[in-house]
Structure formats: structure tokens, C-alpha cells
Chain A
Amino acid sequence: MVGKESKTGWDVVEMAANVAADIHNGAYVNLGIGMPELVAGQVPEGREVIYHTENGLLGMGPPPPEGNGDPELINAGKKCVTAIPGACYFHHADSFTMIRGRHIDICVLGALQVSENGDLANWSTGEPGAIPAVGGAMDLVAGVRTIYVISRHLTKKGEPKIVRNCTFPLTGKQVVDRIYTDMAIIDVKKEGLLVRKLAPGINADYLRQNTGADLIFNFNCGNK
């Protein structure tokens, strides 16, 4: 079903741009590892955004030129980064004070699954023998004001990532505010999953076929 038609929709850079468009001027933002990192490059000009990395830096800048990295200046994914003028370093307890204490405005995370009530699973597939590793994800979803998920709509096997109930172990319950996929932008509301925007070439029926939960289409109420 997906094959040819999935060539429509948004590519990862467009997905990142969709997220970036919703990050307000002056926001303190934590970006998860992987696809969320692309968001930093897509923030519209004129907006000043401060990036937090939970290993102790506020004011994270782009990666340094190849070969110029400092192994003691890294991000949460342990990749070399830079610090912008005005940046500051701090220890881990302060870093998570920022996170749990509701000082960070927005966190953008990847997902294995998101449920229709905003439960997020993104740290473990729960397979026997897998080495569990959680990092800061549970603290982030528990403490950051607004949680955005950026993810492909389907798994590599073509299964929906947006489901009625997560089957993978949860990172947090009822924590996701908005989902940005290659097919749509979807708000998690009390009344259910509200589709705000469809990607080019994706229609409501197609989105429904590729989503494991009920969707509400009401663009008048969904689009602010």
C-alpha cells in the first residue's frame, strides 16, 4: 500500500521544518538524538532559540568542522558540538532541575510508538535479551512543558507507529502534545487525535489506512 505513494508526503528535512515552524522565539528547547537533531537547522530566521543538552550545556551550537571536535564538548548523543556565545555549562543535577522543574519549553523526541492518548514508547522494544537503556527520556517527558514527536508514520516493516495502545514499554503516559510525521501533523487532544495538516499527496483515507488509531479531521478547529 505504501510503496509508490509514500514518495509523496514530507521528507525528513520538511518534517524537521514543520517542527521548527512551531518553535517560538526565545524558546528553550531540548532535541532528542537522531531525527530531532535536524530541527535545529530549520528554525526560521529571526527567531532566537536556546538549545539545552542534558549532559550539561545550555546554548548548544552546531557541530564543529570535521576534525575540530573537543571530546569534552559533546551533546547527549555523545557527538561533538559547539557552544554559542552566551552558553553555560552545569552539572547533571542542575540539568535535570531544568528538565523536571518545567524550565525547558519544548522537547522534540523520536518514537517507536505513540498511542491515541499521547502515551510514548521510545526507549525499548522490550525484546528478551535486549540491553535496556533509557537515558534522560523519562525525565524529559515527565518535566518538559511541551513534547513534540517527530517520526516516520510507519515502521520499516510498514506498521503504524500511531496506535490505540502502545505495545512497547512506555517512556511516559499521556505526555505527547503533537506528532510530526512524513504524512501529517497530528495533535493529541482529550477528544482524540486531531489531524492539523496533511502532507502533499496524502488524503484522509490514506492516512486512516496507515494509522492504528482513530483520527479526527476538522481543519477549521485544528488549524490555529
Chain B
Amino acid sequence: MINKIVDSPGRAVGDIFDGAIVMIGGFGEAGSPIELIHALIDHGARNLTVVSNNTGSGHVGLAALIENRQVSRMICSFPRTTNSKVFPELYKRGEIELELVPQGTLAERIRAGGAGIPAFYTPASVDTPLGEGKESRVFGGRKYVMELAIRADFSLVKCKAADRYGNLVYNKTARNFGPVMCTAADSTIVQAREIVELGGIDPETVVTPGIFVNKVVEVINPADESRLVAENRIYPW
């Protein structure tokens, strides 16, 4: 019997090792798998490279993982938001590395990583500082830069519903990077608000096919990151 369901976030992230590349879904708090991130803080793996669009806010979730000094390198498109304090301070002190990537290039590098495409050409960042030093080529009279795929050891993703095969559906704009990140890791770990019986998700509406998912854990009432930030909560609590 195939059963990808595990019984706790702690067990779900237990294999993450020091030095791993970890993709973390979410656009701001929408889609951020906060319970999996907190379990990773408890687990303690260090020297991680994290691929995520932002760097978290306040002192919970991704920001707390960074504050706990478990992340040595961030690959992201927008490392500051209104309430992000942790990453900017470490970055200014030179204590965390940043690879800044245009958002669409980030999504496509992850997509390519999951699709077995080692590199591709994009018009984004041509003739800008982010395109400097990159291999370029002209197609049809227009210049493009070459970008490399990204693959990860682990992806941490949040969704609305999953079944034991790992088929997933998402919630509104919390989908964002989830589907591409699921495809691009050796081990994809998902927290779902609800685990349903096989057949409980209409095959026509499955967004992430279960083949891309390794572990699913049910988190019925995930924390609301902005509320935790407004309450000045700090993880670990």
C-alpha cells in the first residue's frame, strides 16, 4: 500500500540534513508552510541553502529559521517586506549570503529543475546588473541570458487538501511556488489543511500529481503568520 501520510511535522522534516538545499513555498505568508518550518527549527539542521521568494517577516516561520542561524544562503527575488527585519540585519552584517533572482527567472529555474532541463535562456535581466557575467545568446535578433535550473534536496510546501498518494489542491494565491517546488526536490514534504480519501479530489482538479510528493502531514489549523507577527510572537516559543 502506498501511504505518504506521516503523523507529525517533526517526523516529516526529520531527514533534512546539514548543508541541504531546501525550497520553501509561499509568497509572503500566502502558502508559507509555517508548521513545517517550525519543525525544521526544532529539528535543527544547519548551513541550509533556502530557495524561497521572500525571507519571512517578524520572528516566526522563515524569518525565525534564519534568525536561528540555520540558513547560510538565500536564493530569492524579494528579500525584504514591510515586517522583515531578520534577514536585512544579517545581510548588512555580511552573515548570510544572497543570490537575488528575478521572480519569473526563479520560478522557471525551479520548473526547469523539476522538468529535467539543465538551463534555459530568458530575456529578463538582459543589460542589467543581474544579467552581468551570465552567458548570453541572440535569438531572432534579441539578446537572452542563460539561467541554470535549480534542484533541491527537500521542498516544503503548504496546500489545502491532499490524499495518501500525494495528490494536491491549493488555496487561492497560496498556490504560487508550490506546484513547481514539488517537482524540483528529491524529497517533497507537504502540509495539508485536510487529508481526504483517495478519490476525494476530482482527478480533473488535481493541481500537483502525487508522483511529485513524498510526504504529507495534516495541519488542520495552520498558524496565521501575519497575526503572529502582529502579536510579536517569537519562535521557538
Contacts and interface: CB of A to CB of B under 8 A. Distances in A.
Interface size class of A (residues with CB under 8 A): 35 or more
Contact of A72 (B30, B88, B108): B30
B27 A93 contact: no
Given A139-B103, A173-B126, A56 B175 contact: yes
Contacts of B178: 91
Interface residues of B, number: 51
Contact of B123 (A53, A57, A129, A143): A143
A135 B77 contact: yes
Interface in B105-153: 105-108, 110-111, 122-130
A93 B111 contact: yes
Given A89-B170, A170-B127, A134 B100 contact: yes
A181 interface: no
B221 interface: no
Contacts, number: 142
Nearest to B110: A93
B175 A83 contact: no
A216 interface: no
A53 B173 contact: yes
B42 to A, nearest CB: 24
A55 B105 contact: no
A211 interface: no
* Interface-central residue, A57, A74, A131, by most chain B CB under 10 Å: A131
B173 A72 contact: yes
Given A57-B173, A72-B31, A74-B173, A142 B129 contact: no
Interface string A128-143: 0101111111110011
Contact of B127 (A71, A93, A172): A172
B176 A56 contact: yes
* Interface-central residue, A73, A133, A170, by most chain B CB under 10 Å: A133
B171 interface: yes
9 shortest interchain CB distances as A-B pairs: A96-B104, A139-B104, A92-B107, A142-B123, A72-B174, A136-B103, A91-B179, A173-B127, A138-B102
